[in-house]
Every structure is written in C-alpha cells, then in structure tokens.
Chains A and B, each alone.
Chain A
Amino acid sequence: MKIGGSGPGTAQQTGEIACLEPRTAMPLLRRQWQKLLEFLFPPETSTWLAVFRIGMGLQIIVYALFLGRDWHSLFSTTGKGLVSRELGEAIASFDSPVIPKLGWLVVFGQRIGFGEETVLSIAWACLLCIGFCLLLGLFCRPAAIVAWFLHLCAAESGGLLAYGADNLMTMALFYLMLSPLPDPYSLDYRLVKIRAKDPQLLGFWRRVLQVHLCFVYFFGGLAKLLGSGWWNGSNLWRALIRPPFNLLSPDILVRFKYALPVLGISICLIEIGYPIFIWIKKTRFLWLVCILGMHAAIGLAMGMYLFALVMIVLNLAAFGVGIRVAFVGHPATTTRHPH
C-alpha cells in the first residue's frame, strides 16, 4: 500500500506502510480513530428520541388496533386460527429455539390457569397499553422493552404471515429499547423526574438509526435497479393493480401511463441515492421530502399503512429532527447542532 504526502505526522516519502515508523503511523491511526468516534458519538439533543418514542408508540397502537379483529385468527393454535401459530413457531425454532414466541406466553399462562384465548387477549391488550405508555412517555424504558418483546413474539409466531413491516418494527423497537430513555418530553422526565443514565449516547443511537436507513434504501434501490420492470414502469403498474394493494382504479392509472416509467426510475434513484444525498446539507431536505412523499404515497395508494408509518417515523427521527432547509436563512443559534 503506497502512502504519499507531506506535513507533520505523515510520511515524507512513499513506501510500504510496514516501513513507517510507529511515531508517524500511530498519529495517523489515532486521527482516524478520533474521526470515527466523532462520527459515531456526535453531540445531540434528545428531540429526535422524543419523536422516535412518540412515533413508535403511535405505530404500536395502530398495529394493535389494525390487527385487533383478527388477532385470534392470526395467532391461535391448530383448529382455531386460520394458519396454526404452531407452524410459524416451528419455522422460527428451526433457526433457533430461543427466539421469543407467543407460545412461551401461552405455556406460562396455562401454568397459572389461563387458557390460550385469554393469554392472547392479554398480550394484545398489553401491546395496546404499552403503545399508549410510549406515546405519553410513561415507564419509557420498561415499555420499550415490553413492546419489543411482545411485537417480536407476534412477528415470529406469525411466521408465514409476517411481512416486511414486521422486521422494520422489530428493528425500530430494538433501537428504541437501547436508546437513552426517558427523553425530556416524556412524563417520566417531567412528573417522576427520572433522568437518562447515558445522555451522551443520544448521538450514537441516532447515528445507528441513520446508518441503518442508508442500508435499507441502498439495498432496496439497488435490487430495484436490477429489475427491468422498474425501468419501464411495469412494476409500478403491477404493484398498484394487484390485490390487496389495488386501491386505485386501473382506469385512473392508465391515464398516467407515460409517467409510470419516470416514477419507477425516480423511486430507484431516490432510494439508491439516499446514503449520499441525505448526508449532504444542501440536498438533505429535498431527499427527506422525496422519501417521506414516497412512503406516504405507498400508504395511501396501496393501503400499506403500517409499513408507511414505521418508515416515516424512522426517517423523521433519523434525519428530520433539526433539519435545515437549504438556501433558507436561519437565525444564529448558540447551541451546537450535529448537522
């Protein structure tokens, strides 16, 4: 590996890195390490965490209410549910037997005299209550842990009935439970005066969320670009006319047939460009608006409300809080801002 350059702390001549003396190589490594730490642990306010907590509280409430009528059909055992919960749990156990499942709660409930239906109803009610706790900021940390656990149990027991929104919700709740809760906007903070143990980690967990979203969009965009249907608009057409996503009439879509290829390519570019343009100050607002618009459209036009909501919450928490609109003047602030 050739290294060139001049100035203090760098090698004067090109040569193998192994030949560099420790006194020149070490400051270089130290600087890189320092840069990494500065990137991973930026100073950060807790507003993003409040948005994240409130958003995920809302998400859990919507999740519980939307699945309320079908909760027992989804998660009952053989002979009661549409597809047996045991099948989903067997598939999950094939990966690992210690992945949490609703079956664990059912077994525990049976030991203390509760039937399966009662346990499932309690689990659903708990999920709904936990959603309100997160929304209000009451018992933030325990609520986030219980929400993650119950949702993970439901997602794993759902097995074959699970879809992308479940993984994204699990991921979001996993990060929320590890973040330094409570935030100053929560009731825990205001009424009970509980303080976060490690507020200096606020920046770290926001970075984790930001980097994760970059992975989500980069790989999503790349995979779409590899499909011919996203270049000619046929994928958008197919996505919008197939049940159960067919909320728009095909007759209306046909009127916009020339816009479909442009929209298809735009979606790919917005997604694959996300890891670059969301970090650039001048393009961040535009990219965020585009991505939020895309998710809002997915929610409204395809009925994927849970998926749309979790993605909007993740984006707002990761990049939306504290965003500055490029080319618009802002009053000078005394606090240091991460972006």
Chain B
Amino acid sequence: MISKRVYVAWFGIHFFLIAAVCFAGLFSLVAEHATILPSALDTFARKAELAAAWPLGKHAGGTNPLRRSIATYLHAAGIQSGYTFFAPNIPGYHKLIFELNYPDGRIEYESPHFKGKAAALRLDSLLTRLGDNRYEPLREVVLKMLALSIWRERPDVKKIRATFGSVSPPSITDFEHGKGESFQPMFSYDFSLRDENRR
C-alpha cells in the first residue's frame, strides 16, 4: 500500500483545488453584482476571485505546462467548475427561433430540438451560454451550425433568419393577473446556403 502520507498529501491538494475553484466561482458572482451584497464589494470580490484562481494557474499563459496540467487534472476529476447551480438567482431563459423562408414565399417557424428530454436539458444549457457575453465570439458559429441542422432536414429552405432573445417569465402576481412571459430579442442573423451575412 502506498504510504498514508501520500494519500494525505493528495487529499490536501485535491480539496485545496476544489476550494479554489468554488471560491473563484463565488467571488465571480459577487463581482458581477449578481448577489444581494452591496456593490461596494465588487472591486474586492474581483481581486478575491483573481486570488482564488491563482492556484489554478489562471494567471499563467494559455500554453503554460503547469496551467495545463492543473486544468487536465481538474477536468479529469470533474472539479473544473463550482457548485453554484441555480444560484444566486434564476434569470429568465433564452429562446432561439428560426424563421424559415421558402422560395414560394412561405414562412415557417422552427426551434432547434433533440428527440429526447435529457438532451433537451443540454440544449437549454447551450442557449444559456449563448446569452452570456463571455460566449459572444462563438454565437455566430453556433447559430450557423444550428441553422445547418435545420437545412439538413429541410433542404428546400431558401433563407433562415435566426432570432435569439431572452424570455422573462411572469412573476407569481403577474401570472395571477393573466400576464404571460415576454420575449426580448437580443440579436438575429440571416443565413442562406450560398452566402451568410450578419444582420
């Protein structure tokens, strides 16, 4: 059996990394002013987030071997992200609507979908990420892929307009007064098979 000291050392390092990931995630929420804490703490929280992420090698360059080793271990152990599920608040959700334009002038509306319910949860995860500004550089690429999947099913479509937006569900009081959810478009793209241009 490997010495108990080795196991104790591994235990210490492992949970130190988990704590660093969790604290970095928590301070990030505070810094983004997503919590009930006063905004005066934002600057402190940003510094604390950087300090917590320091042991994870985030300060080093992307190709730094230590940073990559730590990242590999975190991914392998499934501890690369914190546990702030459904926290601190649950925002509205996002919706992606494809407007399918046919050569005869007909217009149909479609949303990306999977066959199973379990995969539908993953689609929701994708749309939440697309709404996040950190994923802005990926938006057009991902929407293009999703539009392409529509084209595979309906090759006769001439043009696709993808509209992405956030949906604000009604509060309980609003719901009792008969109000429904509201859709706020965030951005849209037009795609055609021959050329794509951003709108």
Contacts and interface: CB of A to CB of B under 8 A. Distances in A.
Interface string A74-107: 1000110111100100001011111110000000
Contact of B175 (A158, A160, A225, A254): A254
A83 B125 CA distance: 13
Nearest to B1: A198
What's the interface size class on B, roughly? 35 or more
B90 interface: yes
Contacts of B171: 234, 237
A220 B84 contact: yes
B34 interface: yes
B193 interface: no
Contact of A95 (B11, B75, B152): B75
A219 interface: yes
Interface of A: 36-37, 40-41, 66-70, 73-74, 78-79, 81-84, 87, 92, 94-100, 152, 155-156, 158, 160-164, 166-174, 197-198, 200-201, 204, 208, 211-212, 215-217, 219-220, 222-230, 233-235, 237-239, 241-244, 250, 253-254, 257, 260, 303-306
Q: Which 5 A-B pairs have the closest CB atoms?
A: A227-B88, A170-B78, A171-B78, A223-B87, A66-B118
27 contacts: A40-B7, A66-B117, A70-B118, A78-B145, A83-B142, A95-B75, A98-B72, A160-B135, A160-B138, A162-B122, A162-B125, A164-B85, A167-B79, A169-B78, A172-B78, A173-B78, A174-B76, A198-B1, A215-B22, A215-B83, A220-B83, A223-B82, A226-B35, A235-B86, A237-B171, A238-B90, A244-B124
Interface of B: 1, 4, 7-8, 11, 14-15, 18-19, 22, 25-26, 29-30, 34-37, 62, 68-69, 71-72, 75-93, 112, 114-126, 129-130, 135, 138, 141-142, 145-146, 148-149, 152, 167, 169, 171-172, 175-176
